[in-house]
Amino acid sequence: MTSTAIPVSNSIADIKALIRRESRRVTSYDVASLAGVSQSAVSRCFKPGASVSKATYARVMKAAQELDYTPNAAARSLITRRSNLVAVLVSESAVSFYPDVLNELTRQFAERGMRIVLFTFVHESQLDSTLADVWQHQIDGAVVSARMLPSQIAEFERRGVPFVLFNRHLRDQSVNAIVCDQVEAARTMASRLAAAGHKRFAIIDGPADSTIAQDRRRGISERLAELGLPAPVVVSGGLDYTSGARGMREVIERCGMPPDAVMCGNDMMAIGCLDTARHEFKISVPHQMSITGFDGIAQSSWLCYNLTTLRQPVQSMAVAAADMLVGLARQLERAPERRVFSAVFVDGATARLGPAF
């Protein structure tokens, strides 16, 4: 005699009627009663590598299919303490500028059986209020592309939620991060521009307090100094099209003679910069001026632009982020690691260039 309210055996119609009457979802008990096995047997059938006989497995699966049964992730996560959910924390502009990164992350995590919960904010300073929502859902980890405060990092650690910084890193704090080598990339581009005879450089880049923007600036400045060239004019802004356009105007305004090479912090800015140079100032690019970007977004290869830029290996970076986070969730890794990828040079048509060095 079983004490459960659900009879041991039943017809499909009876069970469906019961479920409808109680207006609830199909549970493993329903499947068990239809298949004539225990609830635990059903549970085991849905756990890969569990010990079930072939016969029971078949009966259970048939019953499950007939009832449209799907295990309840909430109940599962309650006991397993894993939700198979990963939070992606990014600014709205990051989604706008780098949709492919989101696609790649979604795909990579999906391949590892995990789904992405998207948390966006307008300003990175809103990360804090966003985090409050993040903790509610029992996410297994987070991919963060925002400036993190030490207090926020501490909170992740206190709560035991692993995270990976994406395209960001921190000075004076060791955390797991996936980045592209900005210094190397900047030096490469500066070298090739210099080799082609450019003399007067300008930089249009993102916020002055962004560490990756600082890296790029440093890479360029150091390389130019090494080559005995004058220091570049530097303009800071956002990282969008409009900032690129504004940057171009500011550069023209500040320089007596316009620079012959303008290196932008990303492709969006480079495109804004390029459009403004061509249409507003009637500057011929690359004949009178070279303009370079960084990222290798889809738009950079459009015929109208055909940007000379450095492509970030988005897919490799997404794979790395997924691998790293899955590893952390399984407690396989311990010491913080930074995985640094190299950007790939894209020889477009917006810069006169010397040979690769």
Partner DNA sequence: TTGTATGCGTTATCAC
Partner DNA sequence: GTGATAACGCATACAA
Q: Could you list the residues that contact its own copies (CB under 8 A)?
A: 25, 68, 70-75, 77-78, 81, 83, 85, 92, 95-97, 99-100, 102-103, 106-107, 110, 115-120, 132-133, 135-138, 155, 158-160, 241, 271-272, 274-276, 278-280, 298-299, 302-305
Interface residue with DNA, options 34, 67, 69, 259 (CB under 7 A): 69
Among 48, 49, 55, 132, binds DNA (CB under 7 A): 55
What track of x and - describes contact with DNA for positions 315 through 354 (by CB under 7 A)? ----------------------------------------
Q: CA triplet 191, 347, 272: central angle to 5 degrees? A: 90
Q: Which does 51 bind (CB under 5 to 8 A by kind): DNA, its own copies, none?
A: DNA
DSSP 277: I
- Picked from its own copies, DNA, none, the partner binding residue 120 (CB below 5 to 8 A depending on kind) is its own copies
Q: Tell the smallest beta-carbon distance from residue 32 to DNA (Å).
A: 8
Helix, strand and coil content of the chain, in percent to the nearest 5, comes to 45, 15, 40
From 77-85, 95-103, 257-265, 324-332, give the range in contact with DNA by CB under 7 A: 77-85
Smallest Cα–Cα separation from 239: which of 92, 351, 100, 87?
Answer: 92
88 or 185: CB nearest its own copies: 88
Examine residue 91 and tell whether it contacts DNA (CB under 7 A).
no
d(CA 67, CA 30): 8
Tokens, residue 336: 């913080």
86 near 116, Cβ under 8 Å?
A: yes
Complex with its own copies: residue 105 or 220, whichever CB lies closer: 105
CA-wise closest residue to 219 among 251, 263, 159, 281: 263
> Which is nearer to its own copies, 76 or 200 (by Cβ)?
76
Say which entry of its own copies, DNA, none residue 43 contacts (CB below 5 to 8 A, set by partner kind). Answer: DNA
Choose the one of DNA, its own copies, none that binds residue 116, judging by a C-beta under 5 to 8 angstroms depending on kind: its own copies
Asked if residue 3 binds DNA (CB under 7 A), the reply is yes
Q: Which does 315 bind (CB under 5 to 8 A by kind): DNA, its own copies, none?
A: none
Q: Helices marked H in 255-348 — which ranges?
A: 267-275, 314-329
> How far apart are the C-alpha atoms of 149 and 93, rounded to whole Å?
20
| Interface with DNA in residues 33-52 (CB under 7 A) | 37-41, 43-44, 46-47, 51-52
Q: Which does 9 bind (CB under 5 to 8 A by kind): its own copies, DNA, none?
A: none
Per-residue tokens: 357: 């060095």
Among 17, 25, 103, 157, binds DNA (CB under 7 A): 25
Tally Cβ neighbours within 10 Å of residue 313: 15
Tokens coding 42: 């059903």
- Strand ranges inside the chain, DSSP E: 85-91, 115-121, 141-145, 163-166, 177-180, 201-205, 233-236, 261-264, 290-292, 309-311, 338-341, 344-346
CA 39 to chain centre: 40
Nearer to DNA, 44 or 147 (CB): 44
Please report whether residue 78 would count as binding DNA according to CB under 7 A: yes
Region from 25-33, 218-226, 238-246, 255-263 binding DNA, contact rule CB under 7 A? 25-33
Report whether the peptide linkage leading into residue 150 is cis, meaning its omega lies within 30 degrees of zero: no
Report whether 346 contacts 187 (CB < 8 A): no
| Cα dihedral 319/324/326/328 (nearest 10) | -170
Nearer to its own copies by C-beta: 140 or 181?
Answer: 140
Write out the residues near DNA by the rule CB under 7 A. 2-3, 22, 24-25, 27-29, 37-41, 43-44, 46-47, 51-53, 55-57, 69-72, 75-76, 78-81
